[in-house]
Structure 1
């Protein structure tokens, strides 16, 4: 199969970003950026990605879409929303992490992750370090955020984590971030990265 055909099949079968699945319409605004961070927190535990995205949608349906509304919500409301999405093993600790994270984001960046971006001053490495100051966000969670946000923030491009690169190699696609970036337009990079991760999870 040619590279073109492999890419077309990959995107057709798996080419939905996790942000889109969680109901996040990504824009360079505080609310959707915060929602993406919430998704990254939820995906940072040992839990299936579809349960994490369901939990994100449930939180957003509960109107917890900004750091301010999250910080003003009582802990039990968050636990209940996570439970409705069957995010049960980690519901209590995750509710605590979300509350503490919202308070940090309000205190440090006034609820706007674009200020985190400004603090990183164009450095993807510094951005990941700052993201990891948020409770529950480690290398995996910061990678999820950057993978999805690269469509908005050019300094993150191209971003493919090890899991995506491994899947690309197995499919016979370029196994470097720069090589993969040549296959699609910049705004399609989050879809390609997510498709590779989803493909890797199937094997």
Structure 2
């Protein structure tokens, strides 16, 4: 681990070190409601739309009371569409509103609204967990990957996890792409925070430029 890499990682964490869950107002814990909110956010982030819009849409859904699978299922389709629209998530709002309702019903029926049951069933096997997550309508491999990238903060058996987008950000910043080396660079912040910051560096050139300028 070179000093320059340490400086770059420290600068990245200082200036852009926040998970997408935190940005969406989710206090992530290993409890049903925040895990469900992360599932919703991950699904929104996986669409071909700006991350900032997905985060804003998630915040709008939660602000309007759709914070757990029961309230999401009980909300009308139009209420879900309106909340997504408030966040600027208009391109896929109608289809996504349907998927959110169907997904909430499925989670309630299959797991009593508690994603921790999926964790127990997977017993540390990532493929099994991903298969379970992908049963959620609209949740593809990208969404499942985003969920795991953020959930590693509370499900440490899946850490350290740095997906392709995070490794792309690492490459842009001249950092190693090996997960264990990146985890060491994360320090006390943890791999989930560093992974999210690296994704930002991959998605926005100005983030990488800002970090490299200030790491100087």
> How high is the TM-score relative to the length of structure 1?
0.96
Tell me how large the CA RMSD over aligned residues is: 1.2
- The Cα of 1:193 is off from its aligned counterpart by 0.2
- Report the Cα distance in structure 2 between the residues aligned to 1:23 and 1:75, rounded to whole angstroms: 23
Name 2:15's counterpart in structure 1.
13
Q: Which whole-Å CA distance do the structure 1 matches of 2:23 and 2:38 have between them?
A: 11
After superposition, residues 111-122 of structure 1 pair within 5 angstroms as 111-122=113-124
Q: Secondary structure at the match of 2:186?
A: coil
Structure 1 Cα separation of the partners of residues 187 and 31 of structure 2: 22
Conserved? CA contact 1:124–1:155, under 8 Å: no
Query: What's 2:62 paired with?
Result: 60
Aligned to 1:38: 40
- Residue-by-residue CA offset, 1:60-95 (whole Å, 9 max, x unaligned): 011111111111111000001111111111100000
Answer yes or no: is the 8 Å Cα contact 1:167–1:196 preserved in 2: yes
CA–CA separation in structure 1 for the residues paired with 2:67 and 2:52: 19
Check the 8 A contact 2:172/2:201 in 1, yes or no: no
| Alignment gaps of 5+ in structure 1 | none
- Once residues 130 and 176 of structure 2 are traced to their aligned partners in structure 1, the CA distance between those partners, rounded to angstroms, is 24
State the 1:154 CA deviation: 1.2
Question: How far apart are the structure 2 equivalents of 1:199 and 1:6?
Answer: 12
State the alpha-carbon separation in 2 of the partners of residues 138 and 190 from structure 1: 20
Q: Deviating runs (4+, > 4 A) in structure 1?
A: none
Contact 1:59 1:82 in 2 (8 A): yes
Secondary structure, counterpart of 1:128 in structure 2? helix
Question: Does the 8 Å contact 1:151/1:187 carry over to 2?
Answer: no
Distance 1:82 1:5 in 2: 39
Alignment of 1:50 with 2:52, yes or no, is yes
- Counterpart of 1:45 in 2: which secondary structure? coil
Secondary structure at the counterpart of residue 2 of structure 1 = helix
1:126-137 aligned within 5 A:
126-137=128-139
Q: Which runs of 5+ in 2 are unaligned?
A: 206-216
